[in-house]
Amino acid sequence: MNKVNNNDPRFSIINKRLEKINRIIVVLSGKGGVGKSLIATISSLILSKKSKVGLLDLDFQNPSCHTILGFFNGKPIENKGVIPPIVHGIKFMSIVYYSGEKPIPLRGGEITDTIIEIFTIVKWNSLNYLFIDMPPGIGDEVLDIIKLVKNCEILIVTTSSKLAIETFKKVIEMLKISNVKILGVIENMKRGREKNVIKLAEKYGIRYLGYLQFDYKIEKYLSNPSKLLKTNFSKKLEKILLKIIQ
């Protein structure tokens, strides 16, 4: 009889759950409120027109992808695991299916356990792309994803605000140390002709994928994906995505 060490079996299944996904794109930023969830969700909507796409909202404190999608009453199907519902052509998974409108006050280790559980029970099957919308910052969730999801690719979102730029630097430095693939940076909510994001991207050897101007129509069209896809924001994002998927 052997007593087993390091005996949580869930770790052994995570990469098998993800093995039929061609590309896993993790959308993150140092600062909150820079449009990360919007970019993750609209990118999923755009690519789902021609590909099989999944979207996982890992922002447990402030999940918002469901609001962008206007999906408030759905639930996953149980079939030898959890099958995410298809929402506007996307396989969409979020903790709100379980927490509803209630807050989820989790601490570090519990966040990690929740992430492991989601990756253990959710069956994505085959996908061309899985977008993961991360909470802001470079805390537990980001470290967990880099550790758990082999071959993930990072898409950084920032604005040119001095407040966001400071954390942008920290994000890049941490990712470089972690030796994870960085697709590049999208500059969001651009209002003027600032060049600080471009300069920093050059300095750190990160690809500057392009900018998205502040679009007042976005707020009005939240929860209405067909209208969101017609905005200038989405049209420009589609062009930026071509740089990533080609």
- Interface with another protein (CB under 8 A): 1-4, 7-13, 16, 78-82, 95, 97-100, 102-107, 110, 113-114, 117-118, 120-121, 123
| Residue number, 2 or 179, with CB nearest to another protein | 2
* Minimum CB distance to another protein, residue 118 (Å): 7
CB-nearer residue toward another protein: 12 or 246: 12
Tell me the C-alpha distance between 116 and 12, whole Å: 11
* Residue 180: alpha-carbon gap to chain centroid: 15
- Cα dihedral 98→116→130→164 (10° resolution): 90
Q: Shortest approach of another protein to residue 84 CB, angstroms? A: 12
In the bound state with another protein, the residue whose beta carbon lies nearer, of 120 and 161, is 120
Q: Given the complex with another protein, which of 13 and 222 has the nearer CB atom?
A: 13
Task: Output 60 or 168, the one with its CB closest to another protein.
Answer: 60
Closest approach of Cβ 29 to another protein, in Å?
A: 24
3-state secondary structure of 90: strand
Query: What is the nearest approach in angstroms of another protein to the Cβ of residue 134?
Result: 18
Task: Give CA–CA dist 44/128, Å, rounded.
Answer: 11
**Residue 87 · residue 71 · CB < 8 Å:** yes
Q: Give the residue carrying structure tokens 């995505």.
A: 241
Q: How far is the CB of 151 from another protein (least distance, A)?
A: 19
DSSP 141: H
**Token couple for 174:** 């941490």
Q: Strand, coil or helix: what is 27?
A: strand
Q: Is 71 left (phi over 0), alpha (psi -120 to 50) or beta?
A: beta
Smallest separation, CB 113 to another protein (Å): 6
Query: Based on CB atoms, which residue is closest to another protein, 60 or 233?
Result: 60
Q: Could you tell me the smallest distance in angstroms from the CB atom of residue 148 to another protein?
A: 13
Rg (CA), the chain: 18
DSSP 66-81: HHHHT--S--PEESSS
Tell me if residue 148 falls in helix, strand or coil.
helix
- When the beta carbons of 102 and 162 are compared against another protein, the nearer one is 102
Gap between the terminal Cα atoms of the chain: 53
